[in-house]
Amino acid sequence: MGRAPALAVLALAIVVATGCGGVQAAAPPEEEPEMTVPKLVEVSGNVPEAARVRIPRLARNSAERRAERLTVRVRNVSCLGVAVGSGFAIEKDVLVTNRHVLEGAERIEVSTWDGRTLEATAAEVGVLGDVGIARVEGTLPHVGEYGTAPKPGDAVTVVGYPGGGELTLSPGSVVDLVDDRSYGIEGRIMRLTSFVAPGSSGGPVLDGSGKVAGVVYAYELSTDYALAIPVDTLRKLAREGGYEAVPPCGSG
């Protein structure tokens, strides 16, 4: 594939309060603020039916069950406000999400499919791009297995909490691989036809066998394609230790 021009993208964390520069203090953790979604994406708590795969409480297949247990909702309370995104477990007490979901974190809470809320004790962000990891107090329900990076035309499924609402599986396919330097990402990223919205940030991209093929971080404004960092970049970060501590809130 040829090199693509710079992408006009929108990050997919939901910021539900503001607080830097003396604008408005973030709501304290025990006071859940009302969730709002940026007007650029019209999500009123309902995901378009064409983009949704419902997970009935009975008669789930094993792939849907693993996807549900793998994916978590991430809530970051900082001086910037409260950011809500998605994430997935790569170890029993370690999850992957996006850098922009964790930045400035003063408190991180992780909600699992079975109704538990876990607190993160440490968080780091990737130096190669919009990737973050957090270590939680407790055990996450299911640990994902890394697959191989999909090719254009391959079927994928994005899992997450668009709109900060219910868990959603959004099937789609890989359109192509392009460059996107807007987040300092090294290597090419995937453009996907799967539905995403604010709140989807950090959710896993699964291949046809249910293995992790990447992590969602944004979408392209001109096409509504989801943008995802391939699993090869995640492996490179883990192999080379390409993470640093989350910078203090308000440090810039």
Residue 52 lies in a domain: no
Is there a single domain that holds both residue 124 and residue 218? no
Tens of pLDDT along 38-52?
222 333 344 555 444
Residue 14 sits in the same domain as residue 105 = yes
State the pLDDT at residue 61.
59
Can you say whether residue 118 is alpha, beta or left, with left for phi > 0 and alpha for psi between -120 and 50 degrees? beta
What is the mean pLDDT of each successive set of 10 residues along the chain, which is 252 residues long? 46 48 28 31 42 46 82 90 92 92 90 90 81 91 92 95 88 92 76 93 94 93 91 84 78 62
Which of 205, 195, 73, 92 lies closest to 146 in space, CA to CA? Answer: 205
CA–CA separation, 10 vs 18, rounded Å?
Answer: 18
Cβ burial of 114 (10 Å; 0-12, 13-18, 19+) is: exposed
pTM: 0.77
Give a yes or no: residue 81 inside a domain: yes
Question: Tens digit of pLDDT for each residue in 59-101?
Answer: 455 778 889 899 999 999 888 788 899 999 999 999 999 988 9
Under 8 Å between Cβ of 158 and 170: yes
pLDDT in the model for residue 70: 93
Tell me: do 88 and 181 sit in the same domain.
no
Is the domain of 175 the same as that of 222?
A: yes
SS3 content of the chain, % helix, strand, coil (to 5): 15, 35, 50
103 and 20 in a common domain: yes
Looking at residue 11, its pLDDT comes to 64
> Could you tell me the residue range of the domain that residue 87 belongs to?
10-28+60-142+238-245
Give the number of domains in the chain.
2
Q: What pLDDT score does 158 carry?
A: 95
- 216 C-beta neighbours (distance < 10 Å), count: 30
Q: Which residue has the tokens 């640093």?
A: 244
Give the Cα separation of 123 and 115 in Å (integer): 22
Q: What is the pLDDT of residue 226?
A: 94
Is residue 112 domain-shared with residue 210, that is, in the same domain?
A: no
Tell me, what CATH number does 121's domain have?
A: 2.40.10.10
